[in-house]
Amino acid sequence: MTIDLTKTDDGCALLTLSRPKAMNALSFDILRRIGAALDEVAGWRDVRALLITGAGDKAFCAGADIKELRNRSLTDQKRGAELGQAVFARLDRLPVASVALVNGYAFGGGAELAMACTFRLASPNAVFGLPEIKLGLIPGYGGTQRLPRLVGEARALEIIMTGRNVTADEAERIGLINAIAEGDLIQAGRDFAGRFTRYSLPVLECARRAVQRAADAPLHEGLQTEAELSTLAYRTRDAEEGMAAFEGKRKPEFRDE
């Protein structure tokens, strides 16, 4: 088994990369399996967040399976990059937020998978890196685009052009991860998700879409998107319930409507 997809009892889906002997490396077949798993999660109406981690305690994901990258045509290489990009982009389109739980190494495609998630938590021993430059390559699954959005252009260029490692402490300091989690990382992820999953899913999705727009649009276009999405949120029954609960000094009962 290379992919394990389960549900927790608190409304989370848990996707585990399960190739611990290969440090959970990404073959093209595994990329396709991840895509299929994300499509499955998108259809689950009883799931309120997606957690992604790697089996074992050595690696979240050590990146692409290098053996598959040798002696390929340029057309095949481009298609492979587009496959990885398309699979990871599905995380943006999920109706629920995703949380990468980085245990150990997150190199190359593994770091790119983590960056594609909505949030990132890491164990103290986590190490991030985009070492493609050391192989005469550059990141191809979104790393050159997502890393600058998280840590800024200058720092992203330095990390990519040197191929150096980033420890969990540095990753937290520069904004690559949301927090370092001691102890049980999966439980930490469930606890983290519980901080937002109690709210209305349609409204949470509106918030995600608005913030995502800020990354690739001029300010005036982003503000227009915000106005449209805030109006859409206002039209939900959950918005009516939230405001009524506030006035009535009670806890709202959101129904994702």
132 is catalytic: yes
Q: What is the pLDDT of residues 11-64, one digit of tens each?
A: 999 999 999 888 999 999 999 999 999 999 999 999 999 999 999 989 999 988
**Residue of 169, 117, 175, 118 whose CA lies nearest to 141:** 117
Choose the catalytic residue: 112, 153, 170, 182. Answer: 112
pLDDT for 102 equals 98
Which one from 132, 205, 226, 228 is the annotated catalytic residue? 132
Q: Helices 143-151 and 153-162: crossing angle, nearest 10°?
A: 130
Q: What single-letter DSSP state applies at residue 50?
A: E
Do residues 56 and 20 lie in contact, with contact meaning Cβ atoms separated by under 8 Å?
Answer: yes
Residue 67 has a pLDDT of: 77
| Strand pairing class (127-129; 165-167) | antiparallel
**What is the rounded CA–CA span in Å between residue 165 and residue 65?**
19
pLDDT-flagged residues of the chain (< 50): none
| pLDDT recorded at residue 103 | 95
In angstroms, rounded to a whole number, what is the distance separating the alpha carbons of residues 18 and 16?
6
Amino acid 166: pLDDT: 98
The whole-number pLDDT of residue 1 equals 65
Tell me the C-alpha distance between 62 and 50, whole Å.
Answer: 21
Q: Which residues contact 10 (CB under 8 A, 6 or more apart)?
A: 190, 194
Cβ–Cβ under 8 Å, residues 175 and 148: no
pLDDT of 215: 82
Query: Helices 28-42 and 74-93, interaxial angle, to 10°?
Result: 20
Token pair belonging to 221:
């276009």
158 is catalytic: no
- The C-alpha atoms of residue 120 and residue 95 are separated, in whole angstroms, by 18
Cα–Cα distance for residue pair 120/86, rounded to 1 Å: 20
Are the CB atoms for 80 and 72 separated by under 8 Å? Answer: yes
Q: What is the CA radius of gyration of the chain?
A: 19
